Structure 1
Amino acid sequence: MLITSTFLTEGISGWDILSNMGDGWRVEEVMTPHPNQGATQNFVSSYGPCMKAQLVDLRKKGYNNYLMDKVQPHIRISDWYAPRFDCASEYEMRVELLNKKKEAIHIFAPERVNFEQWNDQNWHEMTHVFKNYGPGVRYVHFVHGGRDRQYWKGWYGIRVTDSCVEICPSEGR
């Protein structure tokens, strides 16, 4: 996995905080068991928009230009998110494949996911696989977050954990 602080062992370190509104981000124990038993904590957003990002430098992680340009291995991204049962919330994600100038080559930006109040509080996984993206990919920019939609003081917004970026060389062309 190429994302730092996947299971929050380092807290918020490794993440660039893009917005930290309301009462900001917080780390807490999971409220509902996660399908991956290693995920015992999550980040939780507040009543204002909370967004965080990581920039993965593929070369620094050991993926050379030849591999990325000629083989073009699949790049799999995933993220787990869950609402709180008693508060409406929203989740959003955006992942960009960037060139050496950090310009976007490909973008995965699904629509925001909205949860109503009194939901099941279950974990959901957002996944995408980038394929046949062409030469020049040098970075992966992973952004996610959300907020509670009832503007309650505290941490009632979307929960995120177990974020992942993987390079799958055996699944390339």
Structure 2
Amino acid sequence: MSTAEWKEKVEAEWSLQGAPMPDGLDWKSVFDAKPLGRNLLRNPSPHGLSKDSPPPEADLPEFPTDGPPRFQPDGDFSSWTTSTETLPYDTSGIPPGAVVCEMPRYSWFTMEQVVDLKAEGLWEELLDGFQPEIVIQDWYEESQLHESIYQLHVKLLGADKSTVISEHTANPTEDLSNYSHNWKEVSHVFSGYGPGVRYVHFQHRLKNKFMREFWPTLFTGSSVMVRPTKTSA
């Protein structure tokens, strides 16, 4: 096929009529990359779980475990940059004079990725003029370890990776009186964000608990997807 034919094929595949389709691009490579409508995050489910099945119940041992505390969950976190923040003990609810033998300890486990939109097959004219919708989705376990167990922060960045063109933050609060132990969805659609977007910085944090045993808050199905839908400022 000629370059012009591959260009027409890209335009038809994602219904991009009216979108800027400049000459000089390798349209066969764009078509093969399929940058629109697929998840651009790598390794979106490090725990090997699916949102279509309920989160697993904790497997508690018959006897308490001795040893140093563990603040990071198990999983294959390749493609993610991870860090752990161990939180101080919360003594606010302990009355004066009370004797406490043991208290839970919490930590935030942070995972982040940066998506290079041009490297994934998108082109500058499309991002700047057409400004397709950028859809964020994530699923976290309703673990009820604490009233705050999940945080999301997503930024659309310019070519220098430091200029923030648009951003979205979610910090839901859990209902500790209702235990259903399901996956909870967090999502957002970026539209009309203006020209200059070249990267998506995806970051979420999940709270874990340690008191003899380790209780993580799991997640699955993280995604950054660009839809072939034109938006306006």
Q: TM-score range by the shorter chain?
A: 0.7 to 0.9
- Matched residues, number: 147
- What is residue 58 of structure 2 aligned with on the other side? none
* Aligned partner (choices 154, 160, 184) of residue 101 of structure 1: 160
The one-letter code sitting in structure 2 at the alignment partner of 1:59 is K
Moved segments of 4+, more than 4 Å = none
Determine the C-alpha separation between the residues in 2 that align with 1:146 and 1:7: 14
Q: Which runs of 5+ in 2 are unaligned?
A: 1-38, 49-74, 87-104
In the alignment, what sits opposite 2:40? 2
In the alignment, structure 1 residue 20 sits paired with structure 2 residue 58: no
As a proportion of its length, which structure holds more helix? 2
CA pair 90-7 structure 1, distance change in 2 beyond 3 A: closer
Percent of aligned pairs sharing the same letter: 32
Q: Is the 8 A contact 2:117 2:198 kept in 1?
A: yes
- Residue 170 (structure 2) aligned to one of 94, 110, 133: 110
Q: RMSD over aligned Cα, in angstroms?
A: 2.3
Aligned to 2:107, the other structure's residue is in SS state coil
Deviation at 1:114, TM superposition (A): 3.4
The structure in which a higher percent of residues are strand is: 1
3-state SS in 1 of match to 2:41: coil
The counterpart of 1:57, out of the listed 116, 126, 135, is: 116
Partner SS, residue 6 of structure 1: coil
Match of 1:120? 180
Q: Distance in 1 between matches of 2:114 and 2:175?
A: 28
In the alignment, structure 1 residue 169 sits paired with structure 2 residue 207: no
**How high is the TM-score relative to the length of structure 1?**
0.75
Runs of at least 5 residues in structure 1 that lack an aligned partner in the other structure: 23-45
